Amino acid sequence: MSDPAPGGDTAAAQLLTLEDVERAAAAALPAGVRDFIAGGSGRERTLAANRAAFDRVFLRPRVLRDVSRCSAAAELLDRPVSMPVAIAPVAYQGLVHPEGELAAARAAKAAGVPFTVSTLSTVPVEEITALGGDVWFQLYWLREPGRALELARRAEDAGCTALMLTVDVPWMGRRLRDVRNEFTLPDHVRAAHLDGGGASAAHHRTVGASAVAVHTGLEFSPSLSWSQVAELRASTRLPLLLKGVLAPEDAVRAVEFGVDAVVVSNHGGRQLDSALPSVEALPGIAEAVGGDCRVLLDSGVRSGTDVLKALALGASGVLVGRPPVWGLAVAGEDGVRRVLGLLADELADALGLAGCATVADARRLRTVRGGTGTGDGAGQRAGTTLMAGEGAAGP
């Protein structure tokens, strides 16, 4: 068990929202690391819009329904979960805690939700699956031929239960906080699945640039296309997810290529600045696939009520990225448990107060958007969109 937060149980009890955890993490982290986790690309318009869009979604609760046995239990990719939430892939978690991904994965297992290992994890996938939880593996397509497929096979052999191909990073978005900081990885933080776990370009300061961006530019392939999706689909028995889908046309094509789930995501506002908020894209994508594959939402989820909104708008579940990292920074495994516990408590509260005894009931809720339009899940998926104004911190 990791060390408790400063002040012990009393301090943890004061962390009543994910925003509280974020503030505690900001106070605990070095400025450069804080910016690396919190920042977005460009002028950070999409980063801000993710939250603004969620805040404009309102729920129309139902009454006189028996919620005495309210439950958030669900399934993700046909496996039982305590709530329809998975921890998103986040790179280099060893930056914020010595145990890094191991501590976060233990917390996910204890909470009964999946943990997604990043290609840029600081802990090898085999050590994480050895903990025994439900582990997904996130894959970046790499420049060197065959290496991405080798990593996919390695993850499958290690016991991962799903593969998640990130499709919105031909190169890293221009993240100005990191550029201004000339952000460079400390020597002890390594990408366990790349460079043999050794030092890389990410460890060498580059004037006027992010060393992490330089490294990923050398590693990630900008030629990823549907042919590689077909190649990956043919090479694995695992459920395959595509993360970074915002256009209904791409979601429909994913179904045609045998993809099991799409993750509606703008990479937490870290790729194309001015990409639409993920929650705005969600209804149209859910309508387009029509149940032919699962739809998960990533980017901007900051409460259990946000999870409920995503379910009402057509999602099977959500990914959360930055909040578990904040918890990890504050108190290691205990901090991640606190984050997941807050989400569980808030979701249970929101379900019951909305008149939903189950997650299936939540998917039938009606929503009001920006105080002007109404619609149920089907109506939203028919094309109603939010007025334009984070998930996972990617590499």
Q: Is 198 exposed, middle or buried (0-12, 13-18, 19+ CB in 10 A)?
A: exposed
The secondary structure element, H or E, covering residue 243 is strand 240-245
Q: What would the two tokens of residue 329 be?
A: 């920074």
- Which residue type occupies 272? L
Q: What would the two tokens of residue 390 be?
A: 């984070």
DSSP 383: T
Neighbours of 21 (CB within 10 A): 29
204 flagged as catalytic: no
- Which residue type occupies 234? A
Report phi then psi at 78, rounded to 5: 70, 15
Question: Are 55 and 387 contacting, i.e. CB atoms less than 8 angstroms apart?
Answer: no
Report phi then psi at 48, rounded to 5: -70, -35
Locus of tokens 């994965």: 105
Q: Alpha-carbon distance 34 to 326, whole Å? A: 9
Question: Are 177 and 39 contacting, i.e. CB atoms less than 8 angstroms apart?
Answer: yes
Q: Tell me which of 97, 193, 203, 267 is the catalytic residue.
A: 267
Catalytic residues: 267
